[in-house]
């Protein structure tokens, strides 16, 4: 069976009963075609023929993506993690973009546009042309192509930074027309915008129905802002309530993304116990919480390392062990922050195994 094709069929018509079989088929393909991954599996004594459940498939730590190319063929696109010239950047080298293109749209629309087919967009992420190795820029470019109402206002550049004047003009035009906006960006970019609003003494009131998708996270940044403080600032400076702020959790090493269902809950009237402030993945992704020392699966409510199995990663490696601490909660999971070095013994041992020659 062509495992990437089987993964594509699952993405088109998810069947929970077929997840395990599809995952094991994908694992067999990756074992055969991704040599560094096969070394890890051999080190663990795991062979596809002996795997009876997808949870037995060895995960690859994200640190390994910084040192070896984990791909089944010549890449047509290489996405890289953020970093500086002093840090080694992780690479996700994809020999085919078909699964990535299939994976992003449904979850994005369900979480960010549950009540609309198209929407005027403002991007605080540099364009795909400026950041061709950014998976976030790639996703936003696809959203602009298929879901934007009119041209996207691009207000961030790695060369010139935040274009506040363009944003102010765009916000004022939208307010005059009563046209709601979808603002897309990293939390750190939004902090720059909010700080500028505060310095200028400006508070916008964007039209009702406007919303924000932010990617959260301040990894490696000089300033961090608590989530509650950020949500309050969105309301005070942009006029966008908490119910219309959707956080996205994504990784360069994954083709799929996770979203908070807070806006979808608001539109549907769902009053979930988790309040919509958990990350929920698409049906082709499974997430486990693992003990940082042993990599054994933890019980619900116990914090540990997040480990994702993404069928959309069929061309590379599907089982990815993160350095993010999290806890299973409600319909999904919450992210508690980055693990410290002492908490990453399990990751380190796995990375050592995959790097052995």
Provide the CATH number for the domain around residue 131.
3.40.50
Q: What pLDDT shows up at residue 88?
A: 81
- What residues does 304 pair with on adjacent strands? 326
Q: Is residue 337 part of a domain?
A: yes
Residue 273, in any domain of the structure: no
**How many domains are there within the chain?**
2
pLDDT in tens, 169-187: 999 999 999 999 999 999 9
Asked if 242 contacts 262 with a C-beta cutoff of 8 angstroms, the reply is yes
- Which helix or strand (DSSP H or E) is residue 305 part of? strand 304-310
Query: Which whole number is the average pLDDT over 327-354?
Result: 72
Instruction: Kindly state whether residues 172 and 243 are assigned to the same domain.
Output: yes
Of 222, 249, 276, the one marking the end of a domain is: 249
E-state strands within 82-169: 91-94, 120-123, 153-154, 156-157, 161-162
- DSSP annotation of 155: -
Q: pLDDT tens digit string along 78-124?
A: 999 986 545 689 999 999 999 999 999 999 999 999 999 999 999 99
* CA pseudo-torsion sign 188, 192, 198, 202: negative
Q: What percent of the chain has pLDDT over 70?
A: 91
239 and 307 in a common domain: no
Which residues partner with 286 through β-bridges? Answer: 309
Q: Same domain, yes or no, for 43 and 176?
A: no
Residue 79 inside a domain? The answer is: no
* Domain range for 210: 99-249
pTM over 0.75: yes
**Which pLDDT band holds residue 355 (cuts at 50, 70, 90)?**
low
Does a structural domain hold residue 56?
A: yes
Report the Cα 282 to chain-centroid distance in Å.
11
Average pLDDT over residues 271-287: 96
In this structure, the answer to whether residues 103 and 200 fall within a common structural domain is: yes
What is the per-residue burial (b if ≥16 Cβ within 10 Å, else e) of 47-74? ebeebeebeebbbbbbbbbbebebbbee
| Structure confidence at residue 347 (pLDDT) | 45
Which residue pairs from 144-147 have beta carbons closer than 8 angstroms and sit at least 24 positions apart in sequence?
A: 146/105, 147/105, 147/108, 147/109, 147/113, 147/117, 147/118, 147/119, 147/121
Query: Which residues, including other chains, have CB under 8 Å from residue 47's CB and lie 6 or more apart?
Result: 31, 41
Mean local confidence (pLDDT), 223-238: 89
Answer yes or no: do 180 and 235 share one domain.
Answer: yes
C-alpha distance across the termini of the chain, in Å:
30
DSSP-assigned letter for residue 139: H
Residues in the chain: 357
Q: Given this model, what pLDDT does residue 118 score?
A: 97
């Amino acid at each position: 069976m062509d495992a990437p094709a089987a993964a594509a069929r699952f993405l088109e018509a998810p069947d929970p009963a077929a997840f395990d079989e599809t995952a094991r088929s994908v694992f067999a393909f990756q074992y055969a075609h991704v040599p560094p991954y096969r070394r890890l599996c051999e080190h663990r004594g795991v062979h596809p023929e002996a795997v009876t459940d997808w949870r037995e498939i060895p995960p690859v730590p994200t640190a390994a993506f910084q040192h070896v190319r984990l791909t089944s063929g010549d890449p047509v696109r290489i996405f890289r993690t953020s970093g500086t010239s002093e840090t080694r950047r992780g690479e996700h080298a994809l020999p085919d973009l078909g699964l990535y293109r299939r994976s992003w749209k449904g979850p994005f629309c369900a979480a960010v546009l549950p009540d609309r087919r198209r929407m005027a967009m403002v991007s605080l992420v540099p364009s795909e042309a400026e950041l061709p190795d950014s998976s976030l820029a790639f996703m936003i470019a696809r959203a602009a192509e298929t879901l934007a109402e009119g041209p996207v206002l691009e207000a961030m550049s790695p060369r010139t930074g935040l274009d506040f004047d363009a944003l102010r003009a765009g916000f004022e035009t939208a307010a005059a027309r009563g046209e709601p906006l979808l603002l897309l960006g990293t939390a750190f970019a939004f902090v720059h915008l909010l700080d500028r609003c505060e310095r200028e003494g400006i508070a916008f009131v964007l039209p009702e129905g406007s919303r924000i998708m932010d990617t959260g996270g301040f990894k490696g940044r000089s300033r961090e802002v608590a989530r509650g403080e950020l949500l309050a600032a969105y309301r005070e400076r942009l006029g966008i309530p908490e119910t219309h702020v959707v956080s996205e959790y994504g990784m360069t090493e994954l083709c799929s993304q996770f979203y908070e269902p807070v806006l979808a809950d608001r539109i549907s009237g769902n009053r979930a116990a988790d309040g919509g402030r958990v990350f929920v993945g698409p049906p082709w992704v499974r997430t486990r919480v693992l003990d940082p020392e042993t990599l054994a699966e933890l019980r619900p409510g116990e914090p540990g390392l997040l480990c994702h199995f993404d069928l959309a990663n069929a061309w590379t490696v599907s089982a990815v062990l993160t350095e993010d601490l999290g806890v299973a909660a409600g319909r999904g999971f919450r992210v508690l922050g980055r693990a410290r070095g002492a908490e990453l013994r399990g990751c380190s041992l796995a990375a050592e195994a995959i790097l052995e020659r």
